[in-house]
Chains A and B, each alone.
Chain A
Amino acid sequence: MMSDQSSSPLLAVENLRTVFHFADGAYPAIDSLSFELRAGEVLGLVGESGSGKSVAGFSLIGLVDAPGEIVSGEVRFKGRDLRKLSDEELRRVRGKSVSMIFQDPLTTLNPVLTIGEQMMEAISEHETVDPAAARQRCIDTLTKVGITSPQTRVDQFPHELSGGMRQRVAIATALLNQPELIIADEPTTALDVTIQGQILAEMQTLQKETGTALIWITHDLGVVSELADRIAVMYAGGIVEIGQVDDVLDSPRHPYTLGLLNSVPGDTPRGEALRQIEGAAPSLTARPLGCPFHPRCFRASDLCRTEEPPLAEAGDHSWRCHHPLDPEKTP
């Protein structure tokens, strides 16, 4: 791995808080979000639907629109707090040093521009290049993400591509300027395992060659396990457990992490109900007091219902739980 423990982190997020303003008040979608990422490192960000993974991704690069608002916290990228940059400076960072692959490729792709037109725009925003060279770079990048006949595809419109191809165009666009950090939001959910392997291989090459760091937002614990160095588990807007993949997946300390691991199909007999975490994730406007997971937690006590659990850590592994699981009893 490229990561170097001694040097300062590529990215340091501290107490980031983003709220949504509704008629009756402001509700945090992420709160006290803190973590670090070193150059070349892959952090898997997992968590239930609605837990705030995408909002976290958007907040890192300052892309939160009304009714959302980033209200506090720091996002230090190579020592510079991105939150203090002007819009113009931020735009220069975005798409050049930091790029984000959005969860919904159709919302990022412009329906009236061809694939090539929008990819070339992503290049020309950051450098002046000869159109023929830019076009060739687009075609080469499309090939890397497994798009065949790129010379034809580059002139097609988004609706002419399949769901997975659109996803790959979004990935290719993020790779165009060889960023130092890629935030990828559910980037391979629509791809079969062979194409996904192709893309992950490409990402690993990029990491080795240029030290690109990755934040990989996904619900696929299998992919995280195979790709990431560290894993962060989000629940109700905050990170409830973070650490090396082996530590978190082999000896989870937070009951929610264990619940996630148990819902992976595989051990349940075919056709029978899968084990699921009982209850539903709390809505933004009704976050429980104390530990937000308590209404669904099999270990909840009175303490959990009133007090937010503090951060506890053992080495590089940390969690927020009053009654953490015993690391000796692996699931």
Chain B
Amino acid sequence: MSPRNDITSAPDRDEDAILEVRRLSRRFSRKPVLAEQLLGLVGKAPEIPVLTAVKSLDLTVRRGEVLGLVGESGCGKSTLGRMMTGINPPSEGEILYNGKRTDEMSRQERLAYTLAVQMVFQDPYASLNPRQTVGEILSEPLRVHNRCKNRAEISERVDAALNEVGLDPSYRDRYPHQFSGGQRQRIGIARALIVDPEFLVCDEPIAALDVSIQAQVINLFLELRAQRALTYLFISHDLSVVWHIADRVAIMYLGEIVELAPTTELFDSPAHPYTQTLLAEIPSVKRRRRAFQPVKGELPSPLNPPSGCTFHPRCPMATDRCRSERPISRTIAPGRTVACHLHEPS
């Protein structure tokens, strides 16, 4: 294993950034159904719920790091990842790749960016074309982008990619549904790697894998990082995995980053009450037949977000102020930020 970058002492300069997002937002609203459109014509447009999946979010990913992104289901992690890779456009805000705004790129720059930033999708089945064989799925990006001289080279690269993720190259001619869930996930990883990206957004890349394969894939990620100098945004809800692989961790809640810290510091002294809850609940093989508890307090809805601090309905420390005033993100130590009223400078 190569020595890890000492991220903690790295100066927080923008030259370190491979990808930055600034005041990035993404809203979703339903398309009005016909009746609603008609009502709109007569001037009584009904209210169509709007959901803010990502809320004016700032985040910098540094070259060569593994940034873990952790948060509750539905808090906007995939949406953020899809915007970073250029798959979905933001509603507002900027994305900078190597210091350059992606919406101001020339065609050529844009192409370089879409190749260099790849995504491993959360839902391996939905993201693989069921009518293509694995060989076709993997060779497509090579062909589309003219990355190989001839068919022999394509086929060589496909075999190498399959080997790299621990799949037998003889599987080349099979279709996605003929694989188990974990095998499909590895096909997704192979597809992302085959174009030699420099930044990978991994959306729950190992959630579908069993522990032994998880270990293999984590080891693969660590190796690739050392060999290819890859940078990762590693989206996961599994804190033990994030602890193992990430240099820094961003905790997301209802569309916002509520805490950001170097990994060891986050685990040693979680500052945000949500982070503290997450750490307390990690399942362990040492605990047996536990009586599980439903979520204490009310789960907030992104369709109807709570006032003030969005965590307040579940926060054991909430005060009146939390219910009305939204906490802003503050630096509490070098490289550590948290958005919580408890951490105000006194």
A interface list, Cβ under 8 A from B: 20, 46-51, 54, 103-104, 106-107, 146, 148-149, 152-153, 156, 160-165, 167-168, 186, 189-198, 200-204, 219-223, 225-227, 229, 245-246, 249, 259-261, 263-266, 268, 270-277, 280, 283
**With known contacts A106-B126, A273-B219, A190–B237 Cβ distance under 8 A:** yes
As a 0/1 sequence over residues 263 to 307 of chain B, the CB contacts with chain A under 8 angstroms (1 = contact) are 110000000000001100111111111111111000111111000
Cβ contacts under 8 Å, B218 to chain A? 265, 274
Q: Is the CB of B183 within 8 A of A49?
A: yes
Q: Does B142 contact A (CB under 8 A)?
A: no
Cβ contacts under 8 Å, B203 to chain A? 163
11 extra interchain contacts, Cβ-Cβ under 8 A, other than A163-B204, A226-B289? A49-B180, A104-B125, A106-B125, A107-B125, A189-B208, A192-B70, A195-B295, A198-B292, A204-B292, A266-B284, A277-B212
**With known contacts A201-B294, A245-B289, A263–B181 Cβ distance under 8 A:** no
Q: List 24 A-B contacts (CB under 8 A).
A: A49-B182, A50-B183, A146-B295, A149-B303, A160-B28, A162-B73, A163-B122, A164-B74, A165-B74, A192-B73, A193-B239, A193-B281, A193-B282, A195-B72, A195-B73, A196-B283, A226-B288, A227-B292, A229-B289, A245-B288, A263-B214, A266-B284, A271-B222, A273-B222
Cβ contacts under 8 Å, B332 to chain A? none
Cβ contacts under 8 Å, A103 to chain B? 181, 208
Q: Is the CB of A221 within 8 A of B74?
A: no
Interface stretch, picked from B18-26, B147-155, B193-201, B241-249, is B241-249
Q: Report Cα–Cα, A40/B124, bound state, in Å.
A: 33
Q: Does B136 contact A (CB under 8 A)?
A: no
Closest B residue to A225 by CB, please name it: B285
Q: Report Cα–Cα, A259/B219, bound state, in Å.
A: 16
Chain A CB within 10 Å — which of B208, B215, B278, B290 has the most? B215
As a 0/1 sequence over residues 60 to 95 of chain B, the CB contacts with chain A under 8 angstroms (1 = contact) are 000000000011111000100000000000000000
Closest A residue to B274 by CB, please name it: A194
Cβ contacts under 8 Å, B213 to chain A? 48-49, 219
Q: Does B166 contact A (CB under 8 A)?
A: yes
Closest A residue to B282 by CB, please name it: A193
Chain A CB within 10 Å — which of B211, B292, B300 has the most? B211
Cβ contacts under 8 Å, A107 to chain B? 125-126
**With known contacts A106-B123, A201-B293, A225-B287, A149–B301 Cβ distance under 8 A:** yes
Q: DSSP majority for the B interface?
A: loop
Q: Report Cα–Cα, A161/B301, bound state, in Å.
A: 12
Q: Is the CB of B288 within 8 A of A225?
A: yes
Q: Does B30 contact A (CB under 8 A)?
A: yes
Q: Is the CB of B245 within 8 A of A48?
A: no
Q: Report Cα–Cα, A104/B333, bound state, in Å.
A: 42
Residue from A190, A246, A274 within 8 A of B207 (CB atoms): A190
A47 smallest CB distance to B (angstroms): 7
Q: Is the CB of A273 within 8 A of B303?
A: no
Q: Does B12 contact A (CB under 8 A)?
A: no
Q: Report Cα–Cα, A261/B263, bound state, in Å.
A: 24
Q: Is the CB of B295 within 8 A of A194?
A: yes
Q: Does B216 contact A (CB under 8 A)?
A: yes
Q: Does B209 contact A (CB under 8 A)?
A: yes
Q: Report Cα–Cα, A161/B125, bound state, in Å.
A: 16
B interface list, Cβ under 8 A from A: 1, 4, 28, 30, 49, 70-74, 78, 122-123, 125-126, 166, 168, 170-171, 178-183, 203-204, 207-216, 218-219, 222-223, 237, 239-241, 243-245, 263-264, 277-278, 281-295, 299-304
Q: Is the CB of A192 within 8 A of B283?
A: no
Q: Report Cα–Cα, A229/B289, bound state, in Å.
A: 7
Q: Report Cα–Cα, A89/B245, bound state, in Å.
A: 50
A217 smallest CB distance to B (angstroms): 10
Closest A residue to B70 by CB, please name it: A192
Residue from B28, B73, B182 within 8 A of A168 (CB atoms): B73
Q: Is the CB of B287 within 8 A of A226?
A: yes
Cβ contacts under 8 Å, B215 to chain A? 263, 265, 274-276
Cβ contacts under 8 Å, A260 to chain B? 210-212
Q: Is the CB of A219 within 8 A of B211?
A: yes
A320 smallest CB distance to B (angstroms): 18
Cβ contacts under 8 Å, A227 to chain B? 289-290, 292
Q: Report Cα–Cα, A209/B287, bound state, in Å.
A: 24
**With known contacts A107-B125, A219-B209, A219-B211, A148–B300 Cβ distance under 8 A:** yes
Q: Is the CB of B281 within 8 A of A225?
A: no
Q: Is the CB of A148 within 8 A of B301?
A: yes
Q: Is the CB of A265 within 8 A of B241?
A: yes
Q: Report Cα–Cα, A203/B293, bound state, in Å.
A: 11
Q: Report Cα–Cα, A186/B210, bound state, in Å.
A: 10
**With known contacts A49-B213, A266-B240, A197–B292 Cβ distance under 8 A:** yes
Q: Is the CB of A197 within 8 A of B294?
A: yes
Closest A residue to B167 by CB, please name it: A280
Q: Report Cα–Cα, A190/B4, bound state, in Å.
A: 28
Q: Is the CB of A104 within 8 A of B281?
A: no
Q: Is the CB of A226 within 8 A of B290?
A: yes
Q: Is the CB of A164 within 8 A of B73?
A: yes
Q: Is the CB of A192 within 8 A of B71?
A: yes
Cβ contacts under 8 Å, A222 to chain B? 240, 282-285, 287
Cβ contacts under 8 Å, A263 to chain B? 211-212, 214-215
